[in-house]
């Protein structure tokens, strides 16, 4: 069998992943539905390639059957994850992707027993933001195993690719989400506002439906989870006042216009722009007795982190370092996994728990 198939390798993020894999000596086979783009990229990187869409299950199964691991970089994952996973389950091929949507992650989690019986790994979300935030959640849970509440927050998202923008457009008409008592609950956009200190003084942040509402629960078992992102001071009020417009923004015609605009006007950050980008993360856990622990992480640019952690995850799975079934990044590799990536650091900023 061949080792690694990278599907969607010629998109902005996929191309960074493919380049990283080649630089690390993994010799990936590149794949996607556009023959011209795959062939051009494969020629430039000196890789073998495949061309196929995900429309026909038997084709997908045949294409992935010769590989140990598939790393799916082709979004939107709401459309690509299911057909690729079905092919992998039938072929016995381990599956990884870069998904970050709660709905997609929950759908993959539901296949845990099937994957376990089949003996394959289902490991979604091996990119930013889930890998560092999931690892931070796992670390905080180890510090305070009695925790019942988890808050994760992110500051510094400054670079966007066409795929990221289109994913945002796709979610415009979706409600916010938090986890309460172990169950995911829909909430209005910017349902709650907090001021959060990422190391440079408190900043306003609002609740957002990050995929960590899904993954952090499976990593830690903590029943109550909220995720936040920083916004300019005026933005939280504007979001709340504009809630009635979100269904309109999510309508078919508006989504098509915004998606076309993303393809035309968004090219993704340059290497220089990525080099100057820093993202900050803060997490906090608290138990019912009032004990709490908080920690912060700093990471390089989101796309650089994604390429590095995705390839690191694929390498781990290739050597059978992960138990079969559904996994999150931290459940698969442990809370220290993110710290293996150059440029990611972590510090405890609140009191450590005492027994």
User: Confidence band (pLDDT; 50, 70, 90) for 355?
Assistant: very low
Is omega for the bond preceding 129 within 30 degrees of 0, making it cis? Answer: yes
User: Confidence band (pLDDT; 50, 70, 90) for 285?
Assistant: very high
pLDDT exceeds cutoff 80 at 268: no
* CA atoms of 108 and 123, how far apart (whole Å): 9
User: Confidence band (pLDDT; 50, 70, 90) for 325?
Assistant: very high
pLDDT at position 271, please?
72
Contact between residue 147 and residue 287 where contact means Cβ atoms under 8 Å apart: yes
What's the CATH fold of domain 130-301+339-348? Dihydrodipicolinate Reductase; domain 2 (3.30.360)
Read off the tokens for 181. Answer: 């008592």
Q: For 297-324, what is the mean pLDDT?
A: 95
| Helix residue ranges per DSSP H, 242-345 | 246-249, 252-265, 271-275, 302-318, 329-333
User: Confidence band (pLDDT; 50, 70, 90) for 255?
Assistant: very low
The closest of 169, 157, 174, 161 to 213, measured between CA atoms, is: 174
pLDDT exceeds cutoff 70 at 29: yes
- 125's CB contacts (< 8 A; 6+ apart) are 97, 98, 99, 100, 105, 131, 134, 211, 215, 328, 329
* CA atoms of 115 and 324, how far apart (whole Å): 7
- The DSSP 8-state label assigned to residue 244 in this structure reads G
Contact between residue 314 and residue 70 where contact means Cβ atoms under 8 Å apart: no
The closest of 77, 68, 73 to 26, measured between CA atoms, is: 68
pLDDT at position 321, please?
80
Beta strand 279-286 with 183-187 is unpaired
In the three-class reduction of DSSP (H, G, I as helix; E, B as strand; rest coil), residue 35 is classed as helix
Average pLDDT of the chain, as a whole number:
88
pLDDT at position 253, please?
59
pLDDT exceeds cutoff 90 at 202: yes
pLDDT exceeds cutoff 80 at 181: yes
pLDDT exceeds cutoff 80 at 38: yes
Residues of the chain with CATH 3.30.360.10: 130-301+339-348
The closest of 129, 177, 287, 175 to 221, measured between CA atoms, is: 287
pLDDT exceeds cutoff 60 at 1: no
CATH of range 2-127+304-332; options 3.40.50.720, 3.40.50.300, 3.20.20.150, 2.60.40.10? 3.40.50.720
Residues of the chain with CATH 3.40.50.720: 2-127+304-332
pLDDT at position 234, please?
56
Q: Crossing angle of helices 302-318/130-143, nearest 10°? A: 70
Alpha-carbon Rg of the chain, whole angstroms? 20
Which has more confidence, 172 or 134?
A: 134
Residue 159 has a CB neighbour count (10 Å cut-off) of: 18
pLDDT exceeds cutoff 90 at 276: no
* CA atoms of 169 and 163, how far apart (whole Å): 10
- The DSSP 8-state label assigned to residue 279 in this structure reads E
Contact between residue 51 and residue 27 where contact means Cβ atoms under 8 Å apart: no
HSE, CB side, 13 Å, CA atoms: give it for residue 18: 29
């Amino acid at each position: 069998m061949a080792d690694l198939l990278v599907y969607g390798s010629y998109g902005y993020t996929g191309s960074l992943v493919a380049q990283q894999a080649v630089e690390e000596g993994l010799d990936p086979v590149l794949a996607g539905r556009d023959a011209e783009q795959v062939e051009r990229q494969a020629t430039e990187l000196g890789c073998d390639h495949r061309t196929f869409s995900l429309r026909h299950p038997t084709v997908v199964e045949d294409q992935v059957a010769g590989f140990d691991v598939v790393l799916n970089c082709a979004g939107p994952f709401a459309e690509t994850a299911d057909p690729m996973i079905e092919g992998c389950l039938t072929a016995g091929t381990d599956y990884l992707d870069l998904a970050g949507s709660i709905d997609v992650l929950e759908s993959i989690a539901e296949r845990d027993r099937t994957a376990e019986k089949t003996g394959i790994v289902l490991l979604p979300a091996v990119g930013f933001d889930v890998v560092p935030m999931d690892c931070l959640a796992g670390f905080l849970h180890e510090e305070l195993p009695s925790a019942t509440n988890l808050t994760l927050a992110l500051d510094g998202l400054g670079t966007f690719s066409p795929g990221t923008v289109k994913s945002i457009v796709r979610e415009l008409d979706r409600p916010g989400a938090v986890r309460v008592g172990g169950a995911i609950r829909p909430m209005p956009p910017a349902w709650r506002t907090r001021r959060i200190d990422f190391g440079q003084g408190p900043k306003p942040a609002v609740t957002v439906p990050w995929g960590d509402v899904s993954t952090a629960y499976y990593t830690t078992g903590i029943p109550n989870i909220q995720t936040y992102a920083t916004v300019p001071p005026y933005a939280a009020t504007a979001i709340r006042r504009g809630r009635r417009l979100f269904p309109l923004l999510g309508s078919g015609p508006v989504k098509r216009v915004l998606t076309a605009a993303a393809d035309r006007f968004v090219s993704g950050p340059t290497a220089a722009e990525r080099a100057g980008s820093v993202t900050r993360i803060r997490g906090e856990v608290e138990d019912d007795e009032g004990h709490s622990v908080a920690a912060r992480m700093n990471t390089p640019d989101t796309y650089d982190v994604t390429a590095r952690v995705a390839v690191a995850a694929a390498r781990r799975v290739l050597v059978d370092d992960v138990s079969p079934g559904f996994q999150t990044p931290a459940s698969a590799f442990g809370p220290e996994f993110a710290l293996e990536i150059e440029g990611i650091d972590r510090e405890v900023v609140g009191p450590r728990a005492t027994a």
